[in-house]
């Protein structure tokens, strides 16, 4: 058990579309003795950066960095797009010591669990789950390095009964906010076609991905159940 305060950053999709991600994240953190706290945070700014609105991005980045710096604790998010923004884009564009410090203390939830595992602090009393899973690595997670992907797959392999393999068929087509726009729908689905076909051919019980946007897109493209890995971890803990 680790303990202490930890700030949870939900991201807009988890906040407004799929709040169950936040519930599972809270439960898994509490399982390790943490006290998750909710700050008065704003959107990470990625959608603004994606459309070239640098002013809108910087406004939100500056606000969040100040808030997180004052909190003085680790920050955990369940959205890999938000993680990329805070860890990479904030220091790049703000060029401040505060942004660098916040970056170093920010993790996506599955990354944080792998850190606990490396410290010998992971609660590993997992119950058996008899499921065949395909894991899709979001592009924004891949941008932070393959090592982060490999480590979370190793962690999930500790769950008895779980069969998990990684899809190698590329982007789902969502592309941040690109695929959420009506005018881009057909193109976004065409971009994701190889991924959708590969997943359907593998015929898993379920698909897991760390990005809520990818989750929506893959559900649309495959008709299969798609969920966040933290839900599987929560289930394995019997929570």
Same structural domain, 67 and 92: yes
Is 124 a domain residue?
no
* Per-residue model confidence as pLDDT tens digits over 162-211: 999 999 888 999 888 888 888 989 999 999 999 999 999 999 999 999 99
Same structural domain, 56 and 105: yes
Domain extent, residue 62, equals 4-116
The pLDDT assigned to 2 comes to 62
Q: Maximum distance among all alpha carbons in the chain?
A: 49
**Percent of the chain clearing pLDDT 90 (strictly above):** 85
Domain tally, the chain: 2
37 has which bridge partners? 7
- Strand, helix or coil for residue 77: strand
The pLDDT assigned to 1 comes to 46
131 has which bridge partners? 162
Boundary of a domain, candidates 116, 139, 165 = 116
| Mean pLDDT of the 96-107 span | 98
* Per-residue model confidence as pLDDT tens digits over 35-76: 999 999 999 999 999 899 999 999 999 999 999 999 999 999
CA angle 168, 173, 174 (to 5 degrees): 120
**Can you tell me the distance from the alpha carbon of 236 to that of 239, in angstroms, rounded to the nearest whole number?**
8
Q: How many CB atoms are located within 10 Å of the residue 133 CB?
A: 21
Same structural domain, 13 and 40: yes
Same structural domain, 171 and 95: no
Is 31 a domain residue?
yes
138 has which bridge partners? none
pTM over 0.85? The answer is yes
């Amino acid at each position: 058990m680790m303990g202490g305060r930890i700030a949870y950053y939900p991201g807009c999709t988890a906040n407004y579309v799929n709040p169950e991600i936040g519930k599972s994240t809270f439960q898994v953190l509490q399982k390790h003795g943490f006290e998750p706290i909710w700050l008065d945070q704003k959107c990470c700014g990625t959608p603004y950066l994606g459309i070239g609105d640098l002013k809108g991005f910087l406004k939100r980045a500056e606000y969040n960095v100040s808030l997180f710096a004052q909190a003085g604790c680790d920050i955990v998010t369940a959205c890999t797009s938000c993680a990329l923004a805070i860890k990479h884009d904030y220091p790049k564009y703000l060029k401040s010591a505060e942004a660098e410090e916040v970056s170093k203390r920010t993790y996506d939830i599955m990354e944080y669990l792998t850190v606990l595992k490396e410290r010998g602090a992971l609660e590993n009393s997992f119950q058996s789950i008899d499921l065949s899973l395909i894991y899709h690595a979001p592009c924004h997670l891949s941008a932070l390095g393959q090592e982060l992907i490999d480590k979370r797959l190793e962690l999930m392999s500790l769950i008895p009964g779980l069969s998990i393999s990684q899809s190698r068929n590329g982007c789902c087509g969502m592309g941040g906010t690109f695929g959420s726009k009506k005018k881009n729908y057909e193109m976004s689905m065409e971009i994701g076609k190889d991924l959708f076909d590969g997943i359907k051919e593998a015929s898993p019980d379920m698909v897991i991905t760390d990005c809520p946007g990818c989750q929506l897109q893959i559900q649309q493209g495959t008709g299969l159940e798609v969920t966040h890995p933290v839900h599987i971890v929560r289930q394995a803990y019997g929570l």
